[in-house]
Structure 1
Amino acid sequence: MFRNQDSSANNQVLRPGIFFDRDGVLNVDSEYLFEIDKFVWTDGAIEAVKAVNDAGYFAFVVTNQSGVARGFYEETDVHVLHDWMASQLALRGARIDAFEYCPFHPHGVIERYRCASARRKPQPGMILDLLNRFPVDAARSFVVGDKPSDMDAAHAAGLSGHLFQGGNLRDFITPLLANE
């Protein structure tokens, strides 16, 4: 499932993109996060997204949200949180070009979400969908995640992956942008 912030990207020059995992990268990972009042940005996360924007890259979020399949929250809760994140970023002059999430899980308790999905990381479906919808220069793009499944999804999509293990996200991203 996806939420586009700007789908007018057709017919533009190819630009690199950064595919951020959400929980553990942009925000502190608290299991099955969907409540705004429990959301905590990772140190330097907003500044990292702004640096990506300022460098001319697309900024995307690709996040597994099995809490939907597990019955912990609804898809509307995911949309509300992502809309709130977008508004908080906008206050600082930053933006996410599209939020992608996968609500499916093969062991979900909600039947309509109980399935294997090519969109669920480590599968590359969310990334491939974004590559197809936006004029992304894949050769200069990469994934930033905190789990091996993020790296596996990156490689399956033909992108490089960078494992974020905490600290300041802006400090982590800045040298990666300079290398491109």
Structure 2
Amino acid sequence: MDEVTLDWAGRIAEAELGEALPRRWAHSQGVAARATGIGRLLGKDADLLTAAAVLHDVGYAPRLAITGFHPLDGARFLRDEHGTDARLTRPVANHSFALLEAEERGLREELATEFPLLDDPLLVDALVYCDMTTTPDGGRTTARERVVEIVSRYGGDSLVGRFIRRAAPEIFSSVERIETALASQPRWG
């Protein structure tokens, strides 16, 4: 990734979300800011994390919501309309344990076939951390508060409510691993 790609990712996310879904755009910007803040953990993949963070919810854009499952719709859009390679589409497609939600929606096989799980546990954890510690308005929160917020917004018996409750232990573990890694890193300046 390079600065041009980061600029491109931000422009694409803003074009799709900015006007149509301003709150979702604010969340995406907050997630990207978190990614920039922890990028030192990922070394050469810091820009990849930031690009995936700003694009992770692009599939919510009304014109892109084909299946109604935003990770799959967003990754397909990036691949099919922009020729984005798997290094970026796979994190978008699989962010925050999307495979568990895909299962709830009957889309697990489609997601797993088109966009296999990442084999980079640090990148997976980092994107979960950035997404699940950012409020819908782009502010900071804890993963536990975020899960509670999602359940209250969608309802505990909804598809999303069921998914997020199933994913919560994994989400908390990912966030804890990143917080531990951040705490062990020396701080400069």
Shorter-chain TM band = 0.3 to 0.5
Identify the structure with bigger relative contact order (alpha carbons < 8 Å, sequence gap 6+).
1
TM-score w.r.t. structure 2 length?
Answer: 0.33
Whichever structure has more strand as a proportion of its residues is: 1
TM-score w.r.t. structure 1 length?
Answer: 0.35
Whichever structure has more helix as a proportion of its residues is: 2
